[in-house]
Structure 1
Amino acid sequence: MSEPVKLIGCFGSPVVHRAEVALRLKGVPYDLITEDLNNKSELLLKSNPVHQKVPVLLHGDRPGVCESLVIVEYVDEAFDGPPLLPSAPLARANVRFWASFVDKECRESMWMALWTDGEAQAASTREAKANLTLIEGQLPEGKRFFGGDTVGYLDIAVSGIAYWMRVFEEIAGVRLMTEEEHPLLCRWAREYTADETARECLPDRDRLLAALTPMRDRFVSIAKAMAVKK
């Protein structure tokens, strides 16, 4: 009998989506435990005592697995099913590099471009668009996804750009990824959000927009704090 799998998550989180889609692609049944991040449960605090954040994967009675991309790699290694990472060591290293690039350089530049103004926004917009061009360059020629003909590790890592960024752009009144500048990345985003497995665990767009719009001032404050650190 297989050990139970539980995922501690919350509504509308792009990093929780990463863990969910990995589990679904591998065909792993799981229970989603929806967390109230304003009133964190003892289970979350115990399972992720360092950062106290979602997602956390619970597999049997093992310690919780934390951080979305770590969870994706764990799921790929721990369960049978179609591979998420490439088999060749160099290719595996390459997708890990670009996933890290998305979470560090790309995320920060996009956030600043969305929620600042003036010269800071102009400079961040240039950087964000250049980063999107670099990511677009990783799409294999003639393939639907970064993983080839099926969704793979890097598609999962970049999934926030496919879905959440459009919602943030609407709230901010800023457009970073356009058909004119990033046609292949826009096509990939449509392919990803139309994929049956990915679509199953994407949040309802109207509900997501309604949940995120009141947080606009908070997003601006976070961007201003990031600008000061820079």
Structure 2
Amino acid sequence: MNQEEQVTVLGLWGSPFSKRVEMVLKLKGIPYEYNEEDVYGNKSPMLLKYNPIHKKDPVLVHNGRSIAESLVIVEYIEDTWKTSQTILPQDPYERAMARFWAKHVDEKVMVAMWKACWGPKSEREKETKEAYEGLKYLEKELGDRHFFGGETIGFVDIAADFIGYWLGIVQEASGVTIMTAEEFPNLQRRSKDFIGNDFIKEVLPPKQKIAALLKAQFGSVTSKLNVIKV
């Protein structure tokens, strides 16, 4: 990689947010260096330098300039490297809708799913219903398309990487079931195609390692909460 094209990712091995950045770089064929960050322990001088406000991953450093927040980084990569693999639609309306659904994933679905599995016990049923409803909207939006991006992986697919890979591990580790193949056939089909992509597979962390980390940090709620059926 030329000096004028230095690309570095500051990330966390098990974070779906960090992996969004690596996924897009892989899909676009952009070489990069990777620095693992201990955001829960001693933060590196590099992380503090390039993300002094949030002090967390992911951070993209391109030619000495830094960009933080995963979806902001993904848009920067899309606008900077014009390759045959496009992530965002060119049509302004379709582009706006992709941003809308990505925000829906981050602010509605992911937050509710996490709280449903490991939030306060008094809130789990409410959060499970919210997660379920949020997933139903995504199920309808996806329809019979291979991906949210159509025939190829797009912006919303990258935003929904948690649903495509991490959610199954989280459900198994927590004992809480929200998304099933019977009720979400479109999302399940997309998840299989998503994690089956060769470039995506390159950056996915091992399932066993994520499951072990989740159980060590949160334990299983199975003994406290029956599997939820909505």
TM score, norm. by length of structure 1: 0.90
Paired residues for 1:157-172 under 5 Å:
157-172=159-174
Seen in structure 2, the aligned counterparts of structure 1 residues 17 and 115 have a Cα distance that, compared at 3 Å, is same
Q: Distance in 2 between matches of 1:127 and 1:191?
A: 26
Displacement after TM superposition at 1:66 (Å): 0.2
Matches within 5 A, 1:14-163: 14-37=16-39, 38-62=41-65, 64-81=66-83, 82-116=85-119, 120-141=123-144, 143-163=145-165
Counterparts in 2 of 1:61 and 1:116: CA distance versus 1, 3 Å: closer
Give, as a single letter, the amino acid of the residue that structure 1 aligns with 2:72: V
User: Equivalent residue of 2:87, what SS?
Assistant: coil
Indicate if the aligned counterparts of 1:171 and 1:216 stay in contact, CA closer than 8 A.
Answer: no
Q: 172, 180, 184: which one pairs with 2:186?
A: 184
Q: Aligned to 1:177, what secondary structure does the other structure show?
A: coil
Q: Following the alignment from structure 2 to structure 1, what is the Cα–Cα distance between the partners of residues 62 and 111?
A: 32
Does structure 1 conserve the Cα–Cα contact (< 8 Å) formed by 2:143 and 2:186? no
- Assess if the C-alpha contact under 8 Å between 2:20 and 2:74 holds in 1: yes
Q: Is the 8 A contact 1:140 1:148 kept in 2?
A: no
User: How much does 1:122 deviate?
Assistant: 1.8
Asked if 2 retains the 8 angstrom alpha-carbon contact of 1:11 and 1:34, the reply is: yes
Q: Give secondary structure in 1 for the equivalent of 2:35.
A: strand
Distance in 1 of aligned mates of 2:195 and 2:14: 15
Shift of 1:187: 0.9
Distance in structure 2 (CA, Å) of the matches to 1:121 and 1:174: 10
Are residue 175 (structure 1) and residue 177 (structure 2) matched? yes
**Helix, strand or coil at the partner of 2:179:** coil
Q: Which residue of 1 aligns with 2:218?
A: 216
CA RMSD in angstroms comes to 1.6
Q: Using the alignment, how far apart are the partners of 1:43 and 1:116 within structure 2?
A: 32
Deviations 1:195-221 (A, max 9, x none): 11111110011122122221116x99x
Name the count of aligned residue pairs. 217
Show structure 2 runs of 5+ residues with no match: 222-230
Following the alignment from structure 1 to structure 2, what is the Cα–Cα distance between the partners of residues 108 and 208?
A: 18
Identity of aligned residues (%): 41
Task: Give the C-alpha shift of residue 36 in structure 1.
Answer: 1.6
Q: 1:224 maps to which residue?
A: none
Q: The residue matched to 2:61 in structure 1 has which SS?
A: strand
Distance in 2, matches of 1:83 and 1:120, equals 39
- The answer as to whether partners of 1:147 and 1:155 remain within 8 angstroms in 2 is yes
Corresponding letter in the other structure for 1:159: D
**What runs of 5+ residues in structure 1 fail to find an aligned partner?**
221-230
Counterparts of 1:87 and 1:26 in 2: how far apart (Å)? 16
After superposing on structure 2, the runs of 4+ consecutive aligned residues of structure 1 that deviate more than 2 Å are 116-120
Q: Which residue of 2 aligns with 1:203?
A: 205
